[in-house]
Structure 1
């Protein structure tokens, strides 16, 4: 289902929970090749909870049309089917009506300057250059505080310019904490600052979209459910319809990609690697509208993310379960790594990117030939060196665990 269809299901969630009975639905869906695990709902005695679990599965594994067809089967729930189809038709008409006027003119000279500033701060985080990061961060905030205290001495353009840079600095701090897995409070912390600052910027819509995406990530990091996080992503996707493809819209899809991969990792749910790869391609496309430097740096990030996704590695590079990596998965990974080796991508590799690259290479060597422990271990050691140098705690833990397993397997076969 697409995002509009999922929002419609969410709007009717309470009625569906009250009305549906999974006993009548699962046989029909099974016949239409919607395959469930054996005894999928047997451990849930309460009917609404069974329906809730079924809906969570279907929104990612069943088309909207097939779900409506299931509701109409044997004339079981035609009234619900009518409501859902009517709502989808109205949504499609509304969407068609706003297509020509919805995009904000975003790409100004100031945006380019702020984008370059923000990207420098990102690279400081990925290179562990905290001194430069802090210098940029404090200057942007001090400039804004000075102008805000003396508002009457500055015009709208000057105030908005300072606000744009200050907002970018706050956003960079959120990302820095995320990279090093530092705590972000959901209230009374940096998220509040970035939300309040967005109202002062030259284009509040883009910061609002970004805030929803950042909040979703912080929520999950603080222990919230992935499903709750994804609802904020859905809201961000709805708002970003007003924006052209850009860095902010790319970041929404970036975080969505991470959530879907993390859900696969946590819940061992099935994952369609081809669909997730397409989402990764969309991320790259959205960032391609920015400057070549920004575009290429994010392209490298996502080529690496797609590579470790194909090899069943999680968001923080841990190996997901014991799933088999196919020959096709290996070929896709090799194509991505070959692309990364092109000079305009390779020569700007940050510490973080180098860590991911060698962790992926280590995993690739092992899955290609699970007797080739020495090469896999050598590459893992290289990845670990970059993880320690950059101070990336979650990835370091995963790489250490993976390399310990490789050593154990190697010693047992020696």
Structure 2
């Protein structure tokens, strides 16, 4: 599908999700070679969730005309085919240059004072999670949850409740992120939480943002549960499609951030190549740019996080601070990492840095000293990282840091013998 046709589906996204069942369209589309198998989506018991995944898949694998034909095959969905065809014809008539003009016509404006309030609230929740401030996190979440649930369902659709809807969607997203930080492998089974996020698209100021966050968080949860990385990445791609009509923002930065984590942990760590390393560095730079379109504080906080992540990548250190033994760190990579880390211990960054990221900063510094064969300094830095990791309750990182401490201690001992 081209950009115009994709945007037509976005316009009718809610109608499609509320109405279609992929099971009824599956035989026809499988016979046309569109779907990967005759039992596609059999493992998804909830119809609306099937519809979401199905729509994300067919925009890349099916032509617009063939999709309309599939809808028309079943009389129950023929009216949707008529609506979609009319939408496409109307847009084509109204625009001399279809793709470019439709893209700008549907572009959403997120730059408002109230948007700033919502983003600040979400960022506060993130910092609580990163700092281990559990009580504060749940108190803030509960305040918004109580306010949202107190509104009668018919009134939830009113425009004056959209700001609160946006904040409640952020609460749901923050709860998912917190469980990811705690490495809760059962997150993907929490249908109530994910369905709640998906359902918020009917109330929020942007219908696309909750859907995009639902997709990318669900993909991340699947990967954490041991599902194939390609399945997880397919959800990231679907999330990107939902954000096509939106400017760079917090959510688009988060999608890139999660894609980065998926690729480094399941692709690069298993088979490190320069091609993948450069791809990751590019995604990291794009994420910094996207976050930079939000408030200055948000942009700066994410910039330091991503600078540290990029330095770790260049130094051959994995997502959970595991040393990638097969990675040879070149002099150029070491110098680039050192330059990135020089920006971190400044008042702009260090004073706001959570223990979780101080762990990673000191682990990177330790590797730098090791590469320079400065063993006492390297051991000192990794011990500092260990102290922060224990305070931050970073279980997976603690185990890897202990291995590094043992290795450096033994190496220093041998150097004295």
Same-fold status (TM-score > 0.5): yes
One of 123, 131, 141 as aligned partner of 1:137: 141
Contact 2:311 2:364 in 1 (8 A): yes
Note the C-alpha offset of 1:114: 0.9
Contact 2:356 2:392 in 1 (8 A): yes
Is 1:244 the counterpart of 2:224 in the alignment?
no
| Deviation per residue, 1:335-388 (Å, 9 max, x gap) | 10112233212221111111111111111111222xx22211111111111111
How many pairs align? 325
- Cα gap change, 1:155 to 1:167, in 2 (>3 Å): closer
Note the C-alpha offset of 1:187: 4.4
Contact 2:212 2:243 in 1 (8 A): yes
Note the C-alpha offset of 1:299: 0.5
Q: SS at the partner of 1:185?
A: helix
Aligned partners of 1:344 and 1:204: how far apart in 2? 35
Contact 1:186 1:219 in 2 (8 A): no
- Cα gap change, 1:115 to 1:224, in 2 (>3 Å): same
One of 97, 118, 126 as aligned partner of 1:122: 126
Aligned partners of 2:108 and 2:279: how far apart in 1? 29
Which structure 2 residues correspond to residues 243-322 of structure 1 after superposition, within 5 A? 243-272=246-275, 273-322=277-326
| Deviation per residue, 1:264-297 (Å, 9 max, x gap) | 3442242433332122110000001100111110
Match of 2:68 in 1: none
Note the C-alpha offset of 1:314: 1.1
Match of 2:394 in 1: 392
Q: SS at the partner of 1:317?
A: coil
Match of 1:146 in 2: 150
Match of 1:376 in 2: 378
Aligned partners of 2:272 and 2:383: how far apart in 1? 31
Aligned partners of 2:238 and 2:361: how far apart in 1? 33
| Deviation per residue, 1:43-65 (Å, 9 max, x gap) | xxxxxxxxxxxxxxxxxxxxxxx
Match of 1:362 in 2: 366
Is 1:334 the counterpart of 2:344 in the alignment?
no
Which range moves more in the overlay, 345-354 or 249-258? 345-354
Contact 2:269 2:318 in 1 (8 A): no
Aligned partners of 1:412 and 1:264: how far apart in 2? 35
Contact 1:212 1:233 in 2 (8 A): yes
Aligned partners of 2:272 and 2:384: how far apart in 1? 31
Which range moves more in the overlay, 203-212 or 131-140? 203-212
Aligned partners of 2:119 and 2:327: how far apart in 1? 40
Which structure 2 residues correspond to residues 6-405 of structure 1 after superposition, within 5 A? 95-96=99-100, 98-148=102-152, 151-152=154-155, 156-183=158-185, 184-272=187-275, 273-369=277-373, 372-405=374-407
Q: SS at the partner of 2:339?
A: helix
Aligned partners of 2:267 and 2:370: how far apart in 1? 22
Note the C-alpha offset of 1:197: 2.4
- Cα gap change, 1:141 to 1:374, in 2 (>3 Å): same
Structure 2 unaligned residues grouped into runs of 5+: 1-29, 37-96
- Cα gap change, 1:314 to 1:189, in 2 (>3 Å): farther
Match of 2:45 in 1: none
Contact 1:264 1:270 in 2 (8 A): no
Match of 1:64 in 2: none
Contact 1:213 1:233 in 2 (8 A): yes
One of 406, 412, 415 as aligned partner of 1:413: 415
Note the C-alpha offset of 1:189: 4.0
Structure 1 unaligned residues grouped into runs of 5+: 1-10, 18-92
